[in-house]
Chain A
Amino acid sequence: MKYLAILILSFIILAAFTSNSQLQLKRPKGWPAPVYDSRHNPLSANKILLGRALFHDPILSADSTISCVSCHLQYSAFTHIDHQLSHGIYGRTGRRNSPALMNLAWSKLLMWDGAVNHLDMQPLAPIANKDEMDMSIDSVMKRLQRSPVYKRLFYNAWGDSSITGERFLKSMAQFMLTMVSSNSKYDKVMRKEQGIAFSEQEERGLMLFRRYCNECHREPLFTTNEFANNGLPPDTTLNDYGRVTITHKAADSLHFKIPTLRNVEYSFPYMHDGRFSRLQQVIDHYTSGIMHSNTLSPALNAPIALSPENKVDLVAFLLTLSDKAFLFDSTYSFPHFVFTP
């Protein structure tokens, strides 16, 4: 009890005197409330900056060659373009396609199979994975503790230079929470911004989208953040059955996380194993490639019939989800200035 009182007391004093003023999680108009509860991790500019430095820094990998950015590049909506399966340390290949990262504050579970249950905990997975960064989390802490740059960044962010796992993870989460994409043409049309409207083709594409795709890739996030089997036949070299490996429930076999379709123009290749490189192939999958099985989502039971014109319209709509302001937002880029004092 005494300790609690001392803790509360020091917290109040700290809160009163630090200049590290609190920021709000960004919530675009009309969007649902974020899932991430920032009350347990109040945002501040210095914590976000620390997270940003860590996100770009290969110090997190065993041989200091791989950073988060190696697989999550900003210009491709924070995914690894061209590689079907992610490439990590020592030239090793992972077992899945790296997903595009955005709007993570609305994601309950992370990873294609939902193995990670909280954004805070996400960095632990790639760091320890022997094909990705191959480093134990306590050796990462030891490295950071030896670095004058990080001593300073932790000090600025947390009020003292003690470097703990909790602080490390919360800072990384804060940076990732700032990756909000909400300035695509679609958003501007929905916000009724002046002078911006869908073309007739895009309009037709939107109607098709709402009819066939919206149940899973639901507006405005373009995902329900749930898991579903969208009828992909399993790749027999990978034998990846998705969510069932985590829940052990047969009904979850071949269920994968429904990815957002925002910035889908840039996030190729597509699907958990990167099997498709073009949107046209994805649409063809939905019209003629669905594998029926007892875990197939009911939403895809009835065949989807699209004419060649329909397909072109649908793709035209998907391209309105591109958000250049997000891809080129300099607040996500490598923070040179913290490394060169």
Chain B
Amino acid sequence: MKKVCSIIFTLLASCFSLWAQDTTDVGIQLQLWYGKASLQSGKEYPYRDTTVQINVFRTYISAIRLSNKGKVVWHEPDSYHLIDMADSSSCYFTMHVPSDVMYDTIIWNLGIDSMANVSGAMGGALDPTRGMYWSWQSGYINLKLEGTSTMCPARQHEFQFHLGGYMPPFASVQEVHMSTRPGKVINVSADIAILLNSIDISVQQSIMIPGDDAVALSCIAAGIFSVR
């Protein structure tokens, strides 16, 4: 047994050094904004004629690919990242991209694909204890946006949008395409004001189930990202 192990070890170790030579670390830095101000919990931001505070913004970014002239040239294996405004370390991560890959576009999914939604318990970013899994009906929550606004007639002026759903016709995962250039770090901005301004929270304070509303808002959420 030991012998087999050591052979496998050397084999893997050599593959390893090969890979190591071939890849460059490319960082993804997400910056969360509310319009022109950086997003912080508890801070007041203008919303229509009143103000809002954002308490929770969490979302999954998955299946990151790089493409060149319309052709996907690389995709990150096991690509699931949970972005959380309450945890700045979640807004930066590195990918190990082959050094010779040329790309002009970065693509990712906002949310979790249907395959991962039906494959049982998973760990890491997908662990169901991360607060992004519905309990009463199986499925990941792709995006959570919660906060308060004086304009919001609900209890304690709270609004809650939990976007998810993987079954057609209410599959809410979205593709995000952004042009970029090869470099050490790709800086991506996400402007939550775009999302919030698309909703009239005096009329709609919550989305908690898969459906047309969740799909519509997910489409808008896909548009909050841009490479700077």
Contact = CB atoms under 8 A, between A and B. Distances in A.
A129 B137 CA distance: 11
A129 B129 contact: no
B128 A165 contact: yes
Interface string A1-13: 1101100110011
Given A1-B19, A2-B16, A116 B138 contact: yes
B117 interface: yes
A170 B138 contact: no
A12 B11 CA distance: 13
Interface in B156-207: 167, 170
B23 interface: yes
Among A1, A40, A247, find the residue whose CB has the most chain B CB atoms closer than 10 A. A1
Contact of B138 (A2, A37, A118): A118
Among B117, B121, B138, find the residue whose CB has the most chain A CB atoms closer than 10 A. B121
Among B1, B20, B133, B135, find the residue whose CB has the most chain A CB atoms closer than 10 A. B135
A244 B123 CA distance: 31
A13 B120 contact: no
B147 interface: no
Contacts of A124: 128, 133, 135
Interface in B78-100: 78, 96
A16 interface: yes
B135 A1 contact: no
B166 to A, nearest CB: 9
B37 interface: no
Given A12-B5, A117-B138, A246-B137, A166 B127 contact: yes
B131 interface: yes
Among A37, A127, A164, find the residue whose CB has the most chain B CB atoms closer than 10 A. A164
Interface residues of A, number: 37
Contacts of B5: 12-13, 16
B208 interface: no
B73 interface: no
Given A121-B128, A165-B128, A5 B137 contact: no
A102 interface: no
Nearest to B77: A4
B211 interface: yes
B123 A166 contact: yes
Contacts of A248: 170, 211
A25 interface: no
Given A118-B118, A137-B128, A248-B211, A5 B123 contact: no
Contacts of A13: 5
B119 A40 contact: yes
A206 to B, nearest CB: 36
A120 B136 CA distance: 14
B102 interface: no
B75 to A, nearest CB: 12
A120 B16 contact: no
Contacts of B15: 5
Contacts of A180: none
A16 B2 CA distance: 9
Interface in A71-128: 115-121, 124-125, 127-128
Contact of A12 (B8, B119, B131, B137): B8
Contacts of A41: 120-121
Contacts of A173: 120-121
B135 A120 contact: no
Contacts of B129: 137-138, 141, 164-165
B96 A2 contact: yes
A291 interface: no
Given A1-B96, A41-B120, A118-B120, A165 B127 contact: yes
20 contacts: A2-B19, A4-B77, A9-B8, A13-B5, A16-B1, A115-B136, A115-B137, A115-B138, A116-B137, A118-B120, A119-B120, A121-B120, A124-B133, A124-B135, A128-B136, A165-B129, A166-B127, A166-B128, A169-B128, A247-B167
Given A5-B19, A115-B136, A121-B138, 18 more contacts: A2-B16, A4-B78, A5-B16, A8-B12, A16-B1, A40-B119, A40-B120, A41-B121, A116-B138, A117-B117, A118-B118, A119-B120, A164-B127, A166-B127, A166-B128, A169-B121, A170-B120, A248-B211
8 tightest Cβ-Cβ pairs between the two chains A and B: A165-B129, A128-B135, A120-B120, A169-B121, A120-B121, A166-B123, A117-B138, A124-B135
